[in-house]
Amino acid sequence: MKKTVLTILASLFSILLYAQDIYVYSSTGAAEVQKGSQWNRLKKRDVLSADDVIRIGQNSCLTLLDKKAEKMYSIPQSSPKKLAVLIDELKGKQQNVTTQFFNHALKSMFNGGSDRISHEAAGCTYRGDIVENDIAKSLFAKMEGNSLKGASNQKTDYAISFELLERDGDNKNIQNEAKIGKQAIFRVKNNGDKPMYVNVLDLDSNGETYVCLPMDDAQTMSHLLIPAESTIDLIDYPIEFTEPAGEERMVMIATEEPYDLRIVNKYLKENRVKQSSSYPVGIYVKSLSVNK
């Protein structure tokens, strides 16, 4: 009897999944769907079904929105599998989102707006800046009230890290030194069991801070969502090392909610928020010598 009940439940899940509208929210790297004998690259707004066979390349990921269930699925590298199987394999690793954010994310895909990546976009339109305020409070607590120079990898709340790879050639790992004029990409490692939104603040030798990775127009950070237990190359968002020469300190900030790092940086510069460690924030610090 128990086996029969489980079978019925599995069939019901399959029927529900077939009926759901699942859209591509973001694709980083190589994510493809099989159509006959061809493999087609997946793009934002593409519609998928449970029977579609998907493959996701090395250090790549695919994020989907399930309209009926109001869920988000962030899927890392995978060999060819049916979408239903990929979603089932996520188990407790899918992204939990509020109805407010989900509706905003869905609307942002179909409002006819641009997908242009912009540093000039205004603050998050679907909420205030409470999250950014909380992140700044937590960062101040981790830095013990000091500048980003006081940030430490030991203070992180999440198992997140990154490497810098040369954009040209064979993607050589940049260790302790970078050349002015050279470009690099971030290779982000999320060793935790939850997807993480990430961005990086750069503190240059003059003490100025800069946001390394751009915000999207809708401020959903869909392009900066790193699946659980995965390594992702952010190949579409390279950085370039520029003047001044000297020591730089890059701090990756990771949270379970999307945020606008420009607003966090503003709070850090103003130094007006109180320290608080109640909001979990992942940090990873990398120091570099930038030379001519």
Report if residue 176 sits inside a domain.
yes
Please indicate whether residue 138 or residue 126 has the higher confidence score (pLDDT): 138
* Residue 112 included in any domain: no
E strand or H helix that includes residue 246: strand 246-255
In the block, residue with structure tokens 């127009």: 217
Where residue 107 falls among pLDDT bands split at 50, 70, 90? Answer: confident
Tell whether 102 is covered by a domain: no
What's the pLDDT tens digit per position in 143-170? 876 777 778 888 899 999 999 999 987 7
Mean of pLDDT over the chain: 84
Q: Domain for residue 127, yes or no?
A: yes
Are both 149 and 240 inside the same structural domain?
yes
Q: What is the pLDDT of residues 275-289, one digit of tens each?
A: 888 899 999 999 999
Do residues 236 and 136 share a domain? yes
Q: List the helix and strand counts (H, then E) for the chain.
A: 5, 21
For 37, the domain range is 2-94
82 and 198 share one domain: no
For residue 211, how many other CB atoms are within 10 A of its CB?
17
Residue 85, domain member (yes or no): yes
User: For 29-63, how does the pLDDT look when each residue is reduced to its tens digit (9 = 90+)?
Assistant: 999 999 999 999 999 889 999 999 999 999 999 99
> 55 and 187 in one domain?
no
pLDDT of residue 87: 92
Given 94, 128, 152, which residue is the final one in a domain?
94
Mean pLDDT on 180-199: 94
Cα dist from 198 to 51, 82, 109, 287, whole Å:
31, 28, 21, 18
Same domain, 90 and 121: no
Give the model's pLDDT for residue 116: 53
Same domain, 86 and 164: no
pLDDT, greater one: 124 or 15 = 124
Tell me if 74 is assigned to some domain.
Answer: yes
High-pLDDT (> 70) share of the chain, %: 86
Rounded Cα distance, 189 and 199, in Å: 13
CATH number at residue 151: 2.60.40.10
